[in-house]
A = this chain, B = another copy of it.
Amino acid sequence: MDATPNRTPEREAFYREISPHNLAPLWDVLHTVVTKEPVSPAKPAIWRYDAEVREYLMRTGALITAKEAERRVLILENPGLKGKTSVTHSLFAGLQLIFPGEVAPAHRHTQSALRFVIEGHGAYTAVDGERTIMEPGDFIITPSWTWHDHGNDSDKPMVWLDGLDVPLVRLLDASFAEPGNTETQMVTRPAGDSLQRYGQNLLPVDWKPERKTSPIFSYPYPRTREALATLAKNGDPDPCHGHKMRYVNPATGDYAMPTIATFIQLLPKGFATAPYRCSDSTVFVCAEGEGESKIGDQSFAWGPRDIFVAPSWHRTTHRTRAESVLFSFSDRPVQDKLGLWREDRGNR
C-alpha cells in the first residue's frame, strides 16, 4: 500500500483523454489523499503579541475604522496556508481591535465565533440583546446565526482573539450571513444575565435549548481560574496536559460550541509535559506565565498574550518557567462527533 503505480506514457495519454470528461485515476493520487497518518499543510507557528503583533495591530487604527472594516481583524495566517484565511486547516484565528468610541456593527452568520480577551477593559460584545463586558482571560461566544456587535465605551484600545470555523463552513458550503439594520442591537437583558440564568448548575424549569451552542455567552476568567487553582491544589497534574479542563455547554455537557472545542489548562512552574499528539490541530494562547513548547521539530518560547499553533499529529511538549495558564481551541468536537478523533499519549 505504499507504491503509486508508474506513470507510463500510455497511462498519461489515457489520463489526458479522460480529463475533459471529468474523470481521473484514483491510483495516481491514492496515497496522497488517503495517508497513513495526517499530513497537514499547516505548519507550527507563533505570533508574539507584545514583541511583534501588537504594533501592527495598533497601526491598523490609522489605516481603517472599525466601521469601514466591519471587523478590524488581522488574520493569523498559518504559514503553510497563505491566502487561505486559516490558522489551522479547518479553523480561522484573528486579532480584533476596537478603539474607544468605535463600534463593530451588528451582523450574523452561520460561522460560530469565540473571543478570548487579550487586552483592555470594559468593551462589550452584544449577543441576543445582552452586552457582555470583556475582561482579559474571558472566553466569550457568538453562536451561529446570532446577531452580534461590539463596542468600546472605555478609554483604551480593546483587543481579543477571534476563533471561527470559517474553513470548515466553507468546505461544507454552508455560509449564510446577514447585516443588521441597525449598527448596535437593542439591549434587552442586563450584563451577566446568561451566566446567572444558565451557568449556576440550574436551568429555567421550562427552558429547552434551541441551539447546539452554550446558552452562556461569557465564561469569565476569575471563575475559570478558581477552578484551575482548586484542581492544582487537590490533585496531581496529568503528565501530558497538566491540569486541563474543557469549557462546557451546561445544557448538554458537550463542548461549549458544536464546531470548536475550547480548553484551559494550568501548568505548574517548572513542569515539563510528556510528548503528546492528537488529530485536532490546536491553537494555544498564553493567558499567564511563560514557557517553551516544542511542536514537531520546532521550539517556541512564549509569554503572556502569545499565540501558537500545533498542527494535527505533531508531537508536542510544553515546559514552563513560571506557573502558566494556556487557553486553547481546536476542531475536536467535529472529529468526536464523526468518530475521527485520535490521540497518542505515548512517548517516542
Q: Which residues of A contact B (CB under 8 A)?
A: 1-2, 5, 10-11, 14, 17-19, 21-27, 29-30, 33-40, 42, 45, 47, 52-53, 56, 59-60, 63-64, 68-79, 82-83, 85, 88-90, 92, 94, 105, 107, 109-111, 144, 166-179, 189-190, 192-193, 196-197, 199-206, 209, 211-214, 216, 219, 223-224, 226-227, 230-231, 233-235, 238, 241, 244-253, 256, 258-259, 263-265, 279-281, 311-313, 331, 334-335, 337-342
Contact = CB atoms under 8 A, between A and B. Distances in A.
24 contacts: A1-B177, A1-B179, A14-B60, A17-B56, A21-B52, A23-B47, A24-B74, A27-B71, A29-B75, A36-B176, A39-B175, A89-B171, A89-B172, A89-B173, A90-B173, A144-B339, A174-B341, A193-B230, A197-B227, A201-B248, A206-B241, A212-B338, A258-B337, A258-B339
Given A2-B179, A213-B339, A339-B213, A202 B247 contact: yes
Most chain-B CB neighbours within 10 Å: which of A25, A235, A340? Answer: A340
Contact of A196 (B59, B206, B227, B340): B227
A326 to B, nearest CB: 12
Given A25-B74, A340-B144, A312 B173 contact: yes
Given A171-B167, A204-B244, A246-B202, A177 B34 contact: yes
Given A189-B234, A334-B338, 12 more contacts: A25-B73, A26-B74, A27-B64, A27-B69, A38-B174, A39-B175, A168-B171, A196-B226, A199-B201, A201-B256, A202-B248, A250-B250
Contacts of A233: 190
What is the oligomeric copy number?
4
A21 B53 contact: yes
A295 B303 CA distance: 53
Given A77-B23, A172-B279, A258 B40 contact: no
B74 A23 contact: yes
B37 A175 contact: yes
Nearest to A345: B206
Nearest to A200: B227
A202 to B, nearest CB: 4
A-B CB proximity, top 10 nearest: A1-B179, A173-B312, A196-B230, A26-B73, A27-B69, A202-B245, A200-B227, A40-B173, A251-B253, A212-B339
